[in-house]
Amino acid sequence: STQEKTPQICVVGSGPAGFYTAQHLLKHPQAHVDIYEKQPVPFGLVRFGVAPDHPEVKNVINTFTQTAHSGRCAFWGNVEVGRDVTVPELQEAYHAVVLSYGAEDHRALEIPGEELPGVCSARAFVGWYNGLPENQELEPDLSCDTAVILGQGNVALDVARILLTPPEHLERTDITKAALGVLRQSRVKTVWLVGRRGPLQVAFTIKELREMIQLPGARPILDPVDFLGLQDKIKEVPRPRKRLTELLLRTATEKPGPAEAARQASASRAWGLRFFRSPQQVLPSPDGRRAAGVRLAVTRLEGVDEATRAVPTGDMEDLPCGLVLSSIGYKSRPVDPSVPFDSKLGVIPNVEGRVMDVPGLYCSGWVKRGPTGVIATTMTDSFLTGQMLLQDLKAGLLPSGPRPGYAAIQALLSSRGLGPDAEVLGGVRPVSFSDWEKLDAEEVARGQGTGKPREKLVDPQEMLRLLGH
Ligand code: FAD
């Protein structure tokens, strides 16, 4: 029967990893793929991470939408795996399960004062301006004149750019109305991006740097001393890193031309990279109520290439500020006690996407490799996991005989729901892809009046109400 020939597969998480894995799995002529997502809406960090002023990056959504439109693919949002349904239950219902649920925890600074008001993770700040429901209460206080971002990666740069961009330049993006309102009132004039290591170790691209250098109304502050001796070292590094470092070096050491000098002189805002500084403590205000600065240990580099480490020189320096955003990386959470998890690395232990010691269980994306790499990296890695799964299927390594797939899970979900409205709602009510398309149309319509591509819905209860759930 067709039932017997239909491999039932499910994917947990609908970010790039989930969608690219599904796309590859659908190359199998009969496979059916269900994508479970805890948010009521799809696309993971493409919706909730990628900066609102980079709309072109979000074009991958068109590819994901095509995948979702396949007759053999279904999206089930508003279903949290590990809470509403367990991984063993999915393993019962499907021939194979792929975990692609990303890396949602941020790494803590683990320094005194981290818990003070005025300190938050860059990830929460990003979630706030991008409409992630759980971050809507963040209320960042932008009444100070200096913000310090701990970290020098692309997320740190995104956050600095959003803090310093003239708000009228964000008006036609999909940034939330609430965030735009707060940014309009912002008094932040200076943003420091602090890194333990030097200019050769920054983790952003030349394109992202150029965008910062050209940011309207803002000027760069770089200390030429940080670049001493770099000219020689640059020759040995790979070309992309070389070009990036050359641009940093030029910006730090060359006198700008007259037009650029005039632009910088009239700039009311500034951003700077503070190298060779390691955060030791968040300093409290005199009344002890909030953050008023960061104590930094001065460092120098030891070792070569990848092994370069920052070691403290013994000198300290205090950097006053009213807002501290930590952007030092993420880690995944364990989703279910039955799934092996490496809590040190924050990933699911796997070999090319096959979860160690658990046949039929796979992983892809940030939960597989760790939270680094762009969407393109995640794509390659997810296709590889898809390939391994299809190989195992072909080799007869997955359970034989029919599996019920969504029918079994739907029955479980209708009897569950731990939210406050569980009883009223009558179990967990999944949001299908056509439901999402209704929400999408609603968002686009709400944006139209103000010239925005969309006004994101930020309240899951409102979304479910709009769907009549
Ligand atoms: P995610 O995109 O995080 O997807 C995981 C999904 O799983 C989420 O939808 C989540 O809600 C869901 N989930 C989590 N737990 C559960 C559960 N228990 N049950 C069900 N579902 C669950 N890359 C670029 O190429 N360009 C950029 O401009 C760019 N900007 C970025 C900006 C930020 C702030 C960040 C953090 C990343 C950025 N990236 C960018 C990197 C890119 O977002 C990642 O490479 C990619 O999103 C990783 O894909 P993923 O599917 O593994 O994780």
Instruction: Enter the pTM of the model.
Output: 0.96
CA-wise closest residue to 348 among 332, 337, 360: 332
The pLDDT tens digits for 8-34 are 999 999 999 999 999 999 999 999 999
Whether 80 is in the pocket of ligand 1, judged by its Cβ within 6 Å, is yes
Choose which residue among 50, 100, 204 to substitute to test ligand 1 binding: the one with the highest number of ligand atoms within 8 A of its C-beta. Answer: 50
Q: Mind listing the pLDDT tens digit for each residue in 232-245?
A: 889 889 999 999 99
Query: What is the C-alpha to C-alpha distance for residues 296 and 283, in angstroms, rounded to an integer?
Result: 10
Residue whose CA lies nearest to ligand 1 atom number 39: 374
Q: Tell me the C-alpha distance between 207 and 209, whole Å.
A: 5
The answer to whether 44 touches 133, Cβ cutoff 8 Å, is no
User: Residue 370: is its pLDDT beyond 70?
Assistant: yes
Contact 12 CB / ligand 1 (< 6 Å) = yes
The stretches of 7-72 forming alpha helices (DSSP H) are 16-25, 45-48, 60-68
Phi first, then psi, for residue 178 (nearest 5°) are -65, -45
pLDDT band at 2 (very low <50, low <70, confident <90, very high): low
Among 195, 186, 198, 146, smallest CA distance to 162 is for 186
Which residue in 61, 37, 36, 38 sits closest to 174, CA to CA? 61
Q: Confirm or reject: Cβ of 50 under 6 Å from ligand 1.
A: yes
Residue with the smallest CA separation from ligand 1 atom 12 is 13
- 3-class secondary-structure state, position 194: strand
Assign residue 387 a region: left if phi > 0, alpha if psi is -120 to 50, beta otherwise? alpha
Asked if residue 163 has its Cβ within 6 Å of ligand 1, the reply is no
Q: What is the mean pLDDT of residues 138-159?
A: 96
39 lines ligand 1 (CB under 6 A): yes
Tokens 């600065």 belong to which residue?
293
Separation of alpha carbons 11 and 33, rounded Å: 7
Residue minimizing CA distance to atom 26 of ligand 1: 374
| 14 in contact with ligand 1, CB cutoff 6 A | yes
**264, containing H or E segment:** helix 258-266
Average per-residue pLDDT for the chain = 95
Question: Given ligand 1 and candidates 35, 45, 57, 89, which is best to mutate, with the most ligand atoms within 8 Å of its CB?
Answer: 45
Stretch 269-290: mean pLDDT: 97
Whether 422 shows a pLDDT value over 90: the answer reads no
Q: pLDDT value at position 305?
A: 72
